[in-house]
Each structure stands twice: as structure tokens, then as C-alpha cells.
Structure 1
Amino acid sequence: MNKRFPKKFLLCVMALILPLCLSGCWDQVEIENRALVLGLAIDEAPPESAKEDPKVTVLKNQPINGKMIRVTAQIAVPGRVPLGPGGGMGGGGSTGNANPVWVVQVIGHTLDEALNNLQQEIADPRYLVHLRIIVINEEIAKLGLDELNDFLRRNPEVRRRIWLLVSDIEAARLMKVAPPLERVPTLYLDAMVEKAIGMGKFPPNYLGAFWDEESKWGQDGFLPYITIKGKENVMIKGIAYFSDGRLAGTSDPIEIGAYMAAKGLNPGGYSTLYHVPGIGYVMTKVTERHAKTDVKIVDGKPHVSFKIHVESVLDEHFGSEQAVDSSADIRKIERVFDQNAAALIKSFIRKTQRDHSDIFGIGEYVRAHYRSFWRDNIRQKRDWELMYADIPVDVEIENTIRRVGMKSK
């Protein structure tokens, strides 16, 4: 009997079965036949917009109460998305001033319904796999983001590293802003926030990080707060922080630096202008931050201490003819910085306490180190948000100026 026969037989069977497993992209859809949504803007729809509801998903005799939203979608036009600020076009498409995106507006009771209405108005199937930016108007954020987050979390096409932004103006305007540096508004917004992280101007708080913060009982989430200056200048206006799932307040731009100092986030990037008695006005730029958070239970209440050390450089000195040329002058500048920075950080913490928004995650320190206290006092997230408003907070900061720049003798 030929012993090699079973081996040859198995090889033949495998040769017949393997092609069935290598069928390729049987359900492929060419990129030219996809409506790739790059950005979404969500605003409140005017009351008269209810008459424009296309009734795509709502059954007859099923009235739905509540405000409607207006969703502005920015869809990439195949072959027109530029490869660079002023360079050629992607995919070998046409050149010139052809608009690289198509902006479409729809209304709906929820984001899911609005996207279904959007699909009714475009020929190609919509895809969110390339979604980069979602901008929501602050009035929408004040109503709460639970329904929005629920839809986005369950949608497998939505990536966790996209940006959710809060705007103090009509969010739809940001879908049409195209500065000379970038012809695609969504790509410009995405690059602006990403570069702000690299320069130490904003924490890396993507959509996934925001969801993570909101799911913790001892911490609240925050998002970038943006606006438009002039015609096409987009500005990061501050931090939009949340409480109980709703927008609770916003910060000033310099308070972003205060938050990053308290959390010890690097790289440093914020400059501070202040007056030093006997020396004049100086500007120092923070280059590095280190922070330690200590939590203790004192008299049945959490007590928090922030110990912060920053390194900086002396960028500018004006308003006085006296030169900064001694170590005593440097130490004096450092002491004044310490006083002003500590007051700024403490003021911002007090602001978040008044709004019951623990974006610093102090509650997570309490939950980790004092579990019995947490179990006895905290039954839900709102309990900690209310307790956070009354806890004592101390801030100590020390600045070390490492460089004063060039000077002539």
C-alpha cells in the first residue's frame, strides 16, 4: 500500500478548500462611491424647521416632542482634497478653485435620525470612518450629551481619537471656514488642535479620553472651547468643562495653562506677562511642568494639596531701564511668578468647584486611597460633584528660570 496516498489526498482537499477562504474583498465599495464624512456640526434647529422634517424615519401619527437639531456635514469630494496647503490635488483630480468638500445641512430629533435624513439626500452610502471633527454649539452642550455619546459609542465607524469641540458660535460656521493654510476646514481644525498639543497649549483630550473621564465617579470631562476671530481665524478660547453630563462652564485661555500645571502635563508652552516691583514688566515662558497631588481626610472631609514645580525661560523685560543681571533679580522674578501662578491656579480650581466639575480628578485620588470613606459617602457620581464644591484646596508652586536669553556687554 502506498503510504504517501493519504498525504497527497489531504493536500488535494486543502487545495480545494483554501480558495473558498481567500475570496478577497467580495463586499468592497470603491472610495469614489462612498460619501466620506470628514466633519459634523450640531446646532439647535429653529422652531420653524420642524415644518421641513422630511419624515424619513418617523412613523405617521407618532408625534415626537422636544427640540430638533440641525446637523451640518462636511463630505469629501473625490479627487479634490488637496495634498498640501497650495499643492496638487489628491487622486489626480482637477485643479483650480474647485471646492474640495460638499457641505450639506439636515435636521432631526437625534443625530442618528439626522444622519438617516442625510443619507436620503446624497447618492452614495455615507461613512464615518474618516470623521475627524465634531463641533457642537454650547447651547446643545448645556442640554447634555448623553444621547450623542450613546450613538457615537455604539457606532463602530467612529474612532476614539477624533475631536469633539464646543463652540460659542453657530457650529455650522466652522464647517465653512477655510484659512489659506488649509483648504479643507475639518483638516484645519484637526491640525490646529493637534499642533496645540505639541506646543503645550492644550491637553491631549480626545473623544475617547472624554468618555473615560465622564464614566468615572471621581472625575468630570472637558473639551476644547473654540470660536472664530475675524473672518477665518479659529481660536482655542479655553476649556469647556462638564458636570452631570452637561456643560457647566468655560475657562479663559490662560487657565488652560493653569490646568496643565496642576496636572503636570508637558511640554510647557504658555507665557505669562506680569509686573515685578523694582524691575518692571517681564514675560516668562514655561518649558516644563511637574506636579504632585496629595489628598488627606481631615475632620471628615478631603483636603487636597497641589505641589507644582515648573521650569521657564525669561523671554522679555520692559518698562524699566534697570537690567536683569543678577541672581537676586532672577529670584525676585521667580517669587512674583510663584505668587501670581498660585493665585491663578487656585482661582480656576474654585471656579470648577462652584460649577461642581472635578476635571482635576481629585475624586479618583480619594477613591483610590480612602476606599472606606468613598464607600460610606459616595453613592453616585453626583454625590462627589456636590462634595467637591466644599473641599479645601492648597496650591504651592515653585518656578526655576533656567535661561534669560542673550545679552550684550
Structure 2
Amino acid sequence: MKRKTPIILFFSSLILLTGCWNKRELNELSILLGLGIDKEKDQYIITAQVVNPSEIASKKGSSGKAPVVVFQSKGETIFEAVRKITTVAPRKLYFAHLRILVFGEELAKEGIGEAIDALLRDSEVRNDFYITVSKNSRAADVLKVLTPLEKIPANSLFASLEVSAKSWSPTEGVTINQLVSNMVSDGINPILTGIEIKGKVKDGEMNKNLQQSKPKTNLEYKGMAVFKHDKLIGWLNEKESRAVNFALGKVKSSVGYVKCPHGGKAVIEIVRTKSKLNAKMVKGEPQGSVEIKIQGNVAEIECNGLDLTNPASITYLEKESENVLTRIIKSTIQHSQKEYQTDIFGFGEALSRSEPDDWKRYKKDWDQTFLQMPVTVKINMKIRQTGTINNSPLNKMK
């Protein structure tokens, strides 16, 4: 009997093991990479950009077919609209590989809260895709445009947003978790990168748009959408978008220029930044501060007679860079206070950390308090290198 006991236990345990009861084969799914959400009256419009597997997997080169297929449907709710896509698509949408989510501008003005709720409840949806807002167009039109270099437009948009954020800095890749955190917080409001169609949508959705060195229609990231909780209330331009990222310490690399004493420009490459945004009580009232340390290199000189071997010239470039950036950041903070009356920087969150007891008094009506709050901006710029040459050869030319 003792010998039989392990055998009985082994076969008994097999009863508890399960197979792949919910497995789905790839040929039964539509791999969703780009999702657009618009609203028309009381109905949601869902636009799904899915991979055309026969074109992507082809070993014989391009067959002339589009690398993606765009499906669209309407519904009273988002979930209904997604399911209704099966009436036009032969396969059910698979959300696990979603790369880019685009909200239409009109929907964003009404509020994106319901759409976010629907996505968060779906177990297939991961949190590593980026979210943007279409500017002056519908999300559906953005997802119809084919892009050069990358076969799949959603992948192109994802990569372009990452590269732009790392090397130029007027954009930011915001994930769904980051967006929700800022939406529900009392001390900060969300911002999302905007995307704009350059050219005609009809030209952009044709394969011949890619068969020329300069496509007639392109997609371009443009400014940032300012939200109050879940509603779009305005836009920041490119300069202001970069200023926000500088203040929040999100600039990894960028480029700027200052005017030279005797005409021309000096271009500075930003190679490192460290930002500290704070808020504290001063004489019984909240006051904000932004301190940024920046390291840069001289990338280009168009100045007349600027001697880079002279330490005074380097000091001049540093001070001018500090002044220019200080003005832009102050102007952007004032724009956020006076025009939009919303804290997109997170001064409220900073106050809740530094002065938790006082924060309880201001928490409920923080945006109104932020409207009047003074903010100081201090920039410390250090130029480390001037490149492989010091003075420009242009100085020797008459």
C-alpha cells in the first residue's frame, strides 16, 4: 500500500492541472498597434490600425499592398464600438501589442475619463503604449496616414515620440498609468503631446505617398495638450512645451541658441540637466521655486568676432543662456496661471510633500491658489566643451 500511495497522489494531481483553455492562435487575431478614439454626438468612433500580416511577413518584397489595415466602427459605448469592429474585420482585435493611442481633439474637450476607464478594465491592455491628442483633426485621420521609413505607422509614431523626447524635448511619451495618476491628483494636471497632420489625409493614406523622396502628407508632433482633470482646455506651443519639460527635469538632451554681442547666434547643445521643483510656505502663503542645473557644449557659432579662447566669452554665453531659459519658463508658468488656471507643473504635489498640514487647507481649491502663487526660477548653466575647434574660421574671413 505504501508503494501505491505516491502513484495515486501523482495521478490525482493530474486532475487539477489545466491546459491552455483560453489559447488563441495568431491567425485568429487582428494585432492592434494603433487605436484612435473620437466622438460624434453621443456615439464613440473607434479606429483600429492593425497589421496586414501577409504584407509584413512577405519574403518577396513589397506586393504594393498597405502594411496596415484600418477598421472603424461606432457605438454608444467604447466597448460596444470595439466589438462591432468584428462586423467589418474578419478577426477579433488583440490589444496586447498596442503602441499608440490617439484621442480626437473634440473628444478630449468633452473628457477622456470614460475612455481611460474602459482601457484600464481590459485585461489584454498593457501599460507601455503612449497616448497623444490629435490637433485640428480627428484621431481617425491620424491613423490613416502611412509613414516613411517604418512600415507600420503606429510603430513610427511610438519611435518618433521617444526619439524627440530624448534629443529635442518638446514632447513626452505619457503612458496610461502616468496619465491616470495626474488626472486624479489634486496637485497636478495632465499634459499630453499633440500630433498634427501636415498635408491632405487622402494623399497620406495612399501607398504612393511613400513612393517619393518628400511625401505629400506627414504626421508631426506639435506642442502639448493642457488638461484640467480629464478635459482638454488648451495648447502649449513648442517653446512652452520645452519649458515645461525643463522645469520638470525631463530634458535629456536639447538644443538652443543665444544672440552674440556683435550679431549672429551661438548654438548650445544641452547634454545634461537636473531640476528641482519645490513649493513651501513663506510668510503664511505658498511660494513655488524651480532650480535647474544645466551642462552644455558649444555646437555652432555664427557670431562676429566671438573669441572662445577668452573665458569672458564663455561666461557671456552661459549668462545669456540662463537669461533666455529663465524668461521662457517664467512666461510658461504665467501662461498656465493666467490663461488656463491649472497647475501642470505639480507645485501642488510639491507643497503636499513639504507642508502636508498646510496642503490640507489649499487642496480643495488648489488651482485658484496656484493662480496667485509667486514662483521664482533660477538657472545655472555651465558650458563644458567648445567642440574640436575653438574660434570659428569665419572670424578670419573678411
TM over 0.5: yes
Q: 79, 102, 113: which is aligned to 1:135? A: 102
User: In structure 2, what is the Cα distance between the partners aligned to 1:99 and 1:10?
Assistant: 62
Tell me by how many angstroms 1:318 deviates.
1.1
Tell me by how many angstroms 1:38 deviates.
1.6
User: In structure 1, what is the Cα distance between the partners aligned to 2:60 and 2:115?
Assistant: 36
Instruction: Report the number of matched residues.
Output: 372
Tell me by how many angstroms 1:384 deviates.
1.2
* SS across alignment from 1:359: coil
Aligned residue for 1:298?
282
Q: 27, 32, 37: which is aligned to 1:42? A: 37
1:331-364 deviation digits (Å, cap 9, x = unpaired): 0111111111000011111112231222211101
Q: Which runs of 5+ in 1 are unaligned?
A: 46-65, 82-88
User: In structure 2, what is the Cα distance between the partners aligned to 1:117 and 1:70?
Assistant: 11
Kindly provide the amino acid, as one letter, of the partner of residue 55 in structure 2.
Answer: R
Q: 387, 393, 407: which is aligned to 2:375? A: 393
Tell me by how many angstroms 1:204 deviates.
4.3
User: In structure 2, what is the Cα distance between the partners aligned to 1:23 and 1:143?
Assistant: 46
Q: 340, 365, 379: which is aligned to 2:350? A: 365
Q: 185, 193, 214: which is aligned to 2:183? A: 214
1:201-241 deviation digits (Å, cap 9, x = unpaired): 23442221111111211111111111123434322212212
User: In structure 1, what is the Cα distance between the partners aligned to 2:282 and 2:182?
Assistant: 26
Q: Is the 8 A contact 1:79 1:93 kept in 2?
A: no
Q: 9, 17, 25: which is aligned to 1:14? A: 9
Q: TM-score w.r.t. structure 1 length?
A: 0.84
User: In structure 2, what is the Cα distance between the partners aligned to 1:400 and 1:319?
Assistant: 19
Kindly provide the amino acid, as one letter, of the partner of residue 21 in structure 2.
Answer: W
Alignment of 1:77-88 (within 5 A): 77-81=52-56
Aligned residue for 1:274?
258
Tell me by how many angstroms 1:197 deviates.
3.4
Aligned residue for 1:175?
143
Alignment of 1:145-294 (within 5 A): 145-168=112-135, 169-199=137-167, 201=169, 202-230=171-199, 231-268=216-253, 270-278=254-262, 280-294=264-278
RMSD across aligned positions (CA) = 2.2
Q: Is the 8 A contact 2:102 2:133 kept in 1?
A: yes
User: In structure 2, what is the Cα distance between the partners aligned to 1:149 and 1:185?
Assistant: 22
1:82-129 deviation digits (Å, cap 9, x = unpaired): xxxxxxx26x69852222222112122332221122123323222212
User: In structure 2, what is the Cα distance between the partners aligned to 1:221 and 1:252?
Assistant: 16
Aligned residue for 1:104?
71
Tell me by how many angstroms 1:193 deviates.
1.3
Q: Is the 8 A contact 2:165 2:251 kept in 1?
A: no
User: In structure 1, what is the Cα distance between the partners aligned to 2:250 and 2:98?
Assistant: 27
User: In structure 2, what is the Cα distance between the partners aligned to 1:123 and 1:235?
Assistant: 32
Kindly provide the amino acid, as one letter, of the partner of residue 106 in structure 1.
Answer: S
1:377 and 2:345 matched: no
User: In structure 2, what is the Cα distance between the partners aligned to 1:275 and 1:109?
Assistant: 56
Q: 32, 39, 45: which is aligned to 1:70? A: 45
1:225-284 deviation digits (Å, cap 9, x = unpaired): 11123434322212212113211222122333212221222422x211231323631111
Tell me by how many angstroms 1:186 deviates.
1.0
User: In structure 1, what is the Cα distance between the partners aligned to 2:29 and 2:69?
Assistant: 13
Q: TM-score w.r.t. structure 2 length?
A: 0.87
User: In structure 1, what is the Cα distance between the partners aligned to 2:53 and 2:299?
Assistant: 47
Overall identity of the aligned pairs, in %? 28
Residues 1:291 and 1:95: Cα distance change in structure 2 (over 3 Å)? closer
Tell me by how many angstroms 1:22 deviates.
4.1
* SS across alignment from 1:11: helix
Tell me by how many angstroms 1:165 deviates.
0.7
Q: 17, 22, 29: which is aligned to 1:27? A: 22
Kindly provide the amino acid, as one letter, of the partner of residue 125 in structure 1.
Answer: K
1:51-88 deviation digits (Å, cap 9, x = unpaired): xxxxxxxxxxxxxxx5323222112233433xxxxxxx
Kindly provide the amino acid, as one letter, of the partner of residue 28 in structure 1.
Answer: K
Q: Is the 8 A contact 2:223 2:237 kept in 1?
A: yes
Aligned residue for 1:356?
341
Q: Is the 8 A contact 1:222 1:241 kept in 2?
A: yes
* SS across alignment from 2:372: coil
User: In structure 2, what is the Cα distance between the partners aligned to 1:192 and 1:252?
Assistant: 18
Q: Is the 8 A contact 1:134 1:163 kept in 2?
A: yes
User: In structure 1, what is the Cα distance between the partners aligned to 2:280 and 2:317?
Assistant: 32
Query: Which range moved further: 106-115 or 17-26?
Result: 17-26
